[in-house]
Amino acid sequence: MSLSSINTLVVVDVVEWSEVYPNPHPIRNVAEWFARFLRDIDGLSVSVVSATGAVQQAIESPGVFGVIVSGSPRDAWVKDHVNDRLIEMIRHCQDRSLPYLGVCFGHQILAVAMSGEVAREPAGVEFGNVPITLTLEGKNDPLFEGLPEEFMVLESHQDAVLKLPPDATLLATGRHTRVQGFRCGEWLRGVQFHPEYDPEILRFIWEPRRVTWRDRCSFDIDTRMRELEPTPLGPRILKNFVKICRRRLNE
């Protein structure tokens, strides 16, 4: 297979929609959350597989050069068959030096797979527009190429990486949740925030939760939802990940 034919990015969709979310609805297309920022990259194909589907087969398909694992309402620290399969997949990526990017839950399950610690964030739910800061290593990591030392992202999580895996490198930090980004080895990376989100997606996800979570949050959820703003720098991370995938092909 020629290098020019290896151009597929697999998005593993771990989102679990309950009946309160209308189906069909265009925002329920998780792969599209990512793909819309990557269409201008020549020759790139984005495919999607459900976390409950043939994940291993998908990432071993001809032409695959990178994997993104989405966010999810799941808890990465719970032992069940879905998490176990994702952990097996991540270790397969590590063994093959296949670039991996975990987003929110995907970031947390990466930490679990690499023997880090994930649990409820002691500071509580983190939601909305949040500034993150790159570490020195983060400023030099290709995932954050072209980004300033501090920039705004969208967050939506109640779990967090509390202890990095052995030999992991911290790439980004925050005031509420310390571990906002890390790298294991050269090819496995995770970010706690959502570079693929925009305010419309976040409002769609949280609108049915608003009443239930109002008393569980240390902030005014109604105000926070109303004041959500776009974070245009976030999607650069997705483009940079594709560059990492292509660099791996040339090594």
Q: What digits encode the pLDDT tens for the residues 113-143?
A: 999 999 999 999 999 999 999 999 999 999 9
Task: Please pick, among 107, 157, 176, 194, the residue that the annotation labels catalytic.
Answer: 194
DSSP states along 58-106: HHTSTTEEEEEE---SS-TTS--HHHHHHHHHHHHHHHHT--EEEETHH
> Could you give the percent of the chain with pLDDT greater than 70?
98
Indicate the residue type of 154. L
Q: Give the pLDDT confidence of 36-83 residue by residue, as tens digits.
A: 999 999 999 999 999 999 999 999 999 999 999 999 999 999 999 999
Does pLDDT of 7 surpass 60?
yes
CATH topology of domain 3-249: Rossmann fold (3.40.50)
CA-wise closest residue to 193 among 242, 137, 134: 134
Whole-number Cα distances in Å, 108 to 22, 26, 34, 67, 187: 28, 27, 19, 15, 16
User: Helix, strand, or coil here: 30?
Assistant: helix
Question: What pLDDT shows up at residue 2?
Answer: 55
Question: What pLDDT shows up at residue 4?
Answer: 56
How far apart CA 187 and CA 27 sit, in angstroms, is 30
Task: Please pick, among 121, 126, 155, 196, the residue that the annotation labels catalytic.
Answer: 196
Task: Please pick, among 93, 104, 184, 245, the residue that the annotation labels catalytic.
Answer: 104
Does pLDDT of 162 surpass 90?
yes
Q: Where are the domains of the chain?
A: 3-249
Residue 184 annotated to the active site: no
How far apart CA 242 and CA 66 sit, in angstroms, is 8
- Per mean pLDDT, which range of 115-124, 178-187, 213-222, 235-244 is the poorest? 213-222
Q: Give the pLDDT confidence of 221-241 residue by residue, as tens digits.
A: 999 999 999 999 999 999 999
How far apart CA 179 and CA 132 sit, in angstroms, is 10
Residue 196 annotated to the active site: yes
Question: What pLDDT shows up at residue 1?
Answer: 55
Residue 104 annotated to the active site: yes
> Could you give the percent of the chain with pLDDT greater than 90?
94
Indicate the residue type of 234. G
